[in-house]
């Protein structure tokens, strides 16, 4: 493989933010590096500065967009595009990437597509949720703005290729008449998972006995995560009768403190362990290994990377049957529910009372997770590059 093949990953959001998009892009960049490709991530000045301040070291190069460029693009698009184009031109000459991998449709994506078309630069575009999906019930999706929606609908179909990380995203692309679509989910580092040493720090932190049954919800706090429904469900369960505990973990979840007052078996946990190389951090892996069952209650997702991570640790999965979530498992491989507190309670008691079902779900989780190995996903990307005639002189 040509060692000097250059990939530019352009994204308006990146580490140390730890959402699914940011972790997924990191896993992708990491897998490319392991295949001897030359990878550079270009991210916002804010995220770049945060990486530097926290002294986070990554195995690939990270550089920043000019300060305030996204603000300019959002408020004064013409001026912002001229400013961005100067930076793009600098990169084209200085870095000479063989392919541009662009993330987030607006404002970065549409303007990057415009530039790539003008300069005949091979590129792929990937959306990550709010830039393509719409859910009016929770005011989710930037395409609710008619002006932004028109811009996205005009430019996205013009890209060389649109990447979808789930069937649900393909459905959204189809709605805006995108023809060139490739399904490549985000992957996880299964090798790292398999080499992980099990720890019990989380149980010790909350004084949970070894025999206690721990349910886990994980993700940054956002209305679409629907953690409130899980709390309401557990409030209706006699937790002490079964020795049941619930941990809701992720950035910003302490906002839920008032909802769990006087319930000593529901725990909130905001990870704070920053590591120089590992994303997700070992602290997140400690959570998976300390818990018994994973609940994914989201109202909408693109893919739900944390669900796949939980599955890789062999956790049985209880999951709301919504876009993104429903693309991961077949009916018999997890416990789906309709998003309501009532049906979630039914699923919780069903799994607690069926030990054989727990065993089979653990097996299915491991089986499903293997399909999302980041090494397999990076190979799919390379196949895509071949299709687009982007890779040359590779045997």
In a domain, 343, yes or no: yes
CATH number at 326 reads: 3.40.50.2000
**Are both 364 and 347 inside the same structural domain?**
yes
**Are both 243 and 320 inside the same structural domain?**
yes
Per the structure, the count of domains in the chain is: 2
**Are both 24 and 155 inside the same structural domain?**
yes
> How confident is the model at residue 394, as a pLDDT?
42
**Are both 195 and 177 inside the same structural domain?**
no
**Are both 137 and 265 inside the same structural domain?**
no
In a domain, 395, yes or no: no
> How confident is the model at residue 262, as a pLDDT?
77
**How far is the C-alpha of 369 from the C-alpha of 362, rounded, in Å?**
11
In a domain, 269, yes or no: yes
In a domain, 392, yes or no: no
In a domain, 329, yes or no: yes
In a domain, 314, yes or no: yes
**Are both 17 and 160 inside the same structural domain?**
yes
In a domain, 22, yes or no: yes
**Are both 206 and 352 inside the same structural domain?**
yes
**Are both 285 and 318 inside the same structural domain?**
yes
**Are both 119 and 253 inside the same structural domain?**
no
Q: Could you tell me the residue range of the domain that residue 251 belongs to?
A: 190-370
> How confident is the model at residue 392, as a pLDDT?
42
**Are both 297 and 382 inside the same structural domain?**
no
In a domain, 98, yes or no: yes
Q: What is the pTM of this model?
A: 0.93
Taking only the tens of pLDDT, the chain with its 395 residues reads 455 789 999 999 999 998 899 999 999 999 999 988 999 999 999 999 999 998 888 999 999 999 999 999 988 989 999 999 999 999 999 999 999 999 999 999 999 999 999 999 999 999 999 999 999 999 999 999 999 999 999 999 999 999 999 999 999 999 999 999 999 999 999 999 999 887 668 898 899 988 889 999 999 999 999 999 999 999 888 765 668 999 999 999 999 999 998 778 899 999 886 666 678 888 899 999 999 999 999 999 999 999 999 999 999 999 999 999 999 999 999 999 999 999 999 999 999 999 899 999 999 999 999 999 999 999 999 889 877 765 544 43
> How confident is the model at residue 389, as a pLDDT?
61
**Are both 144 and 51 inside the same structural domain?**
yes
> How confident is the model at residue 278, as a pLDDT?
78
**Are both 169 and 53 inside the same structural domain?**
yes
> How confident is the model at residue 104, as a pLDDT?
97
């Amino acid at each position: 493989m040509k060692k000097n093949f250059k990939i530019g990953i352009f994204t308006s959001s990146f580490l140390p933010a730890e959402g699914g998009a940011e972790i997924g892009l990191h896993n992708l960049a990491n897998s490319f590096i392991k295949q001897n490709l030359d990878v550079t991530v270009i991210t916002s000045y804010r995220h770049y500065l945060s990486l530097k301040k926290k002294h986070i070291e990554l195995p690939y190069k990270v550089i920043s967009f000019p300060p305030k460029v996204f603000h300019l693009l959002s408020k004064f698009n013409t001026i912002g595009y001229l400013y961005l184009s100067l930076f793009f031109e600098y990169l084209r000459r200085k870095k000479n990437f063989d392919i541009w991998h662009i993330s987030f449709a607006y404002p970065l994506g549409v303007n990057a597509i415009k530039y790539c078309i003008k300069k005949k630069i091979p590129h792929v575009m990937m959306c990550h949720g709010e830039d393509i999906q719409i859910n009016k019930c929770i005011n989710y999706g930037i395409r609710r703005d008619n002006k932004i929606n028109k811009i996205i609908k005009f430019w996205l179909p013009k890209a060389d290729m649109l990447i979808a990380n789930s069937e649900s995203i393909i459905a959204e692309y189809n709605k805006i008449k995108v023809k060139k679509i490739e399904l490549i989910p985000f992957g996880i580092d299964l090798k790292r998972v398999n080499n992980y040493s099990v720890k019990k720090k989380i149980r010790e932190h909350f004084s949970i006995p070894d025999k206690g049954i721990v349910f886990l919800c994980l993700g940054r706090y956002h209305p679409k995560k629907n953690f409130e429904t899980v709390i309401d469900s557990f409030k209706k369960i006699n937790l002490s009768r079964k020795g049941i505990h619930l941990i809701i973990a992720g950035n910003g979840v302490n906002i839920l403190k008032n909802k769990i007052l006087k319930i000593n078996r529901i725990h909130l946990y905001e990870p704070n362990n920053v590591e120089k190389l590992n994303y997700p951090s070992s602290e997140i892996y400690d959570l998976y290994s300390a818990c018994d069952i994973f609940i994914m209650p989201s109202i909408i997702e693109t893919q739900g990377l944390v669900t796949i991570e939980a599955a890789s640790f062999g956790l049985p999965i209880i999951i709301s049957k919504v876009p993104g979530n429903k693309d991961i498992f077949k009916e018999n491989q997890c416990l789906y529910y309709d998003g309501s507190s009532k049906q979630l309670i039914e699923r919780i008691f069903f799994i607690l009372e069926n030990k054989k079902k727990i065993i089979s779900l653990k097996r299915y989780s491991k089986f499903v997770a293997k399909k999302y190995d980041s090494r397999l996903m990076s190979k799919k990307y390379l196949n895509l590059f071949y299709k687009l005639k982007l890779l040359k002189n590779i045997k």
